[in-house]
Chains A and B, each alone.
Chain A
Amino acid sequence: MARMLTTGQAINEALAIALESDPDVILLGEDVAGGGARSAEGVEEMGGVLGTTKGLVKRFPERVLDTPISEMGILGTAVGAAATGLRPVAELMFIDFLGVCLDPLLNQAAKLRYMFGGKARVPLTVRTVTGSGMRAAAQHSQSLYWMTAGIPGLKTVIPSNPADAKGLLLAAIRDDDPVIFCEAKGVLMQRGEVPEGDWTVPIGQARIARAGGDVTLVAFGATVAMALQAAEALAKEGTEAEVVDLRSLQPLDEAAILSSLEKTGRLVVVDESTPRCSIASDVAALCVDRGFDFLNAPVKRVTAPHTPVPFAAVLEDAFRPSAEKVIAAVREMG
């Protein structure tokens, strides 16, 4: 049976199921236990900066571990643990902190299986919060999933709703390769139906979030809601948009993108990140390269501009993609 949960609650449920079903699973990160071990002293645990892991330390006190404030420490520990038999879920509080812990991911986690001829494996999951919209300023609001998606050896997934968050996280934890699990700020507080029990969503399969024949809107994470909102408005004008929710950025479901483009002939890709070297540009290149004869209009990219994320609320809102910008792009392509 499905219940209404927030994405944060769905992630918490997935973590509990993973911890319960596999004794090798551990959680580690800044405040993921959050003082929970001291609840006897009347201390209310944090459960991470956004409360996502709240309550888990009480059920699994040995396996939910607070770390020092050192991302290099967290990732170094996690990659080592994964390479030597555990199945760690590390929390990188914001993807903006990738810079201080890139080497364990880029040169160790992503390379070990390849360089040891398949004899080593790194079943690591990195949960990390991405995106703008929470007035968290330029150093805590970036959408750097394009960096991890661009490193061979890493997988990167990004759910757009609570059900996919649960299913993709369980699939990520059970995957024998390192997976970056992105929690978009705009999605974390979203509520939706979530299936009960042990339930996974396969990594690498896009989802048709809305069917339509006139234009394809490719979206992922927080932009799926924008695309769906734009699609409803466009439908009132007689334009039926198909919304493709990528769910996984690497591997990328190229077949789903191309088959929707073949049907509609028009494609807009909506990406929260800045445009250079982005998933948006990557999808556009795919369409031109392998979907050329399907194109009935130029591929449009709706992204943030090439600037840091502004702190001022008005500017941050203007910086973000939106349903209005998607509608304008669809109208512009004719």
Chain B
Amino acid sequence: MPKLGMSMQEGRVVAWPLPLGARVERSRTVVVIESEKAEVEIEATASGFLRHLYVAVDETVPCGSLLGALTETRDEPFDAEAFRAAHDRPLAALAPAREDRRPAPAPAAPAKPGARRAIAPAARARARELGIDVEQVAGSGPGGRVVREDVDAAAARRRDRVEVAPGVALEAPAAGQGDPVVLLPGFGSDVAAFARQAPALAERFRLIGVNPRGVAGSDAPADAAYGVATMAADAAHAFAGSAHLIGASLGAAAALELALAHPERVRSLVLVTPFVTASPRLVAVLEAWCRLAEEASPTALAAALLPWLFGAATLGDERARARTARGLAEIAARVPAATLARQAAGLRAWSGTRAADLARVRAPTLVVAGGDDLLAPDAEAVSRAIPGARLLVVPGAGHAVALEAPERVNEAILALLAAHP
């Protein structure tokens, strides 16, 4: 977020005119921001490819915050989180006004490429102790100085990362204490999709969310497809022993896959709007999803997806619809187009391969279906095919039933977990 005036402390992202992955020419508008009631088009200072958006449309952030990332080539390896750590420099909040009328100390010169960054000795010492590269840590002290707390925060973020394959680490934020419950988000989504389950579950369980490959801060290996079996194997790295699994949509496919491959590691299974064979409508929506992510802004993508993902209850309430669209745009901004294409390829390859295996599922299972779900119409059939599965159908809810009807969904999940500790 550029600082465009003496008094500008923060700015709002108004639009990302180019889609993620798009080629950006030097001097072309790459982002529109609003500062102090004026909208300003910010031009790219170099040509490249728009690889990651850190700030969604309508979000307000302090000046100095990292908004997005350009890379020179379309496919070069790019670690979104490391880039953020190295370049995100939000201005510290203003100190409260004080009586002191001495002139303010001259602001630190803006960091020039290659300029020496201020790093507190205590931060260096802590980084040495924890084995962290202090040069990669963003500073929150005055003038961007890296302080000890920044190193601790970086270490905490690193602790949330799980290495699932050589050189591939996934974000796996955890919360709460108790038996492990693993959350697997669906297509094009991160663990924020379970935002309305997490508070209730974290009261009694150790929640571990797994952001799949290429999603948010997880690494994005340049594979042709992110297969469902790989997604399941990745999830198995996020917990020790056995856990309760909750998967939504494509995440439900991964949970099912893990339950079939390693039944001893699955205490119970919650499948939210699952499918075993992708419906023609689902395939078509995914195709549009990928294409819009390439060519439109996250906001436009969210607006287009909204009627496919949500039921009449949400769509009919104007405020709920606006709020949901904003949340969806934020999630969309964290999932680049390349990831969507790879997930879609994995999904298509898996579709239809497990229809006959549902009868082999041994884990106590709950299937949650939305009465208004256009994308996974066979959720109820999945439930019938799994021996002893419970079924919850929420009338009026769509594919995103866990977000739309959290009370009913949480109640059913907690009942299953209580019955099978």
Residues of chain A touching chain B, judged by Cβ–Cβ distance below 8 Å, are 237, 265, 292-297, 324, 327-328, 331-334
Contacts and interface: CB of A to CB of B under 8 A. Distances in A.
A203 to B, nearest CB: 31
B100 A296 contact: no
Interface stretch (B141-149, B188-196, B385-393): B141-149
B154 interface: no
Contacts of B124: 293
11 contacts: A265-B120, A293-B122, A293-B124, A294-B121, A296-B123, A296-B147, A296-B148, A297-B141, A297-B147, A324-B100, A332-B142
Contacts of A265: 120, 122, 147-148
Given A324-B99, A328-B98, A295 B122 contact: yes
B44 interface: no
Interface residues of B, number: 19
B142 A334 contact: yes
Given A265-B122, A297-B120, A297-B147, A333 B99 contact: no
A320 to B, nearest CB: 15
B149 to A, nearest CB: 8
A295 B98 contact: no
Contact of B121 (A293, A324, A328, A331): A293
A334 B122 contact: no
Contacts, number: 44
B100 A334 contact: no
Given A324-B99, A327-B98, 19 more contacts: A265-B122, A293-B121, A293-B124, A293-B125, A294-B121, A295-B122, A296-B120, A296-B121, A296-B148, A296-B149, A297-B141, A297-B147, A324-B100, A328-B100, A331-B95, A331-B98, A333-B142, A334-B142, A334-B145
Interface of B: 92, 95-96, 98-100, 105, 120-125, 141-142, 145, 147-149
The 8 residue pairs across chains A and B that have the minimum distance between CB atoms: A293-B125, A296-B122, A334-B142, A295-B121, A334-B141, A296-B148, A296-B120, A265-B122
Which among A265, A328, A332, A333 has the greatest number of chain B C-beta atoms within 10 A? A265
Contacts of A328: 98, 100
Nearest to B120: A296
Contacts of B121: 292-296
Contacts of A295: 120-122
Nearest to A291: B121
A333 B123 CA distance: 15
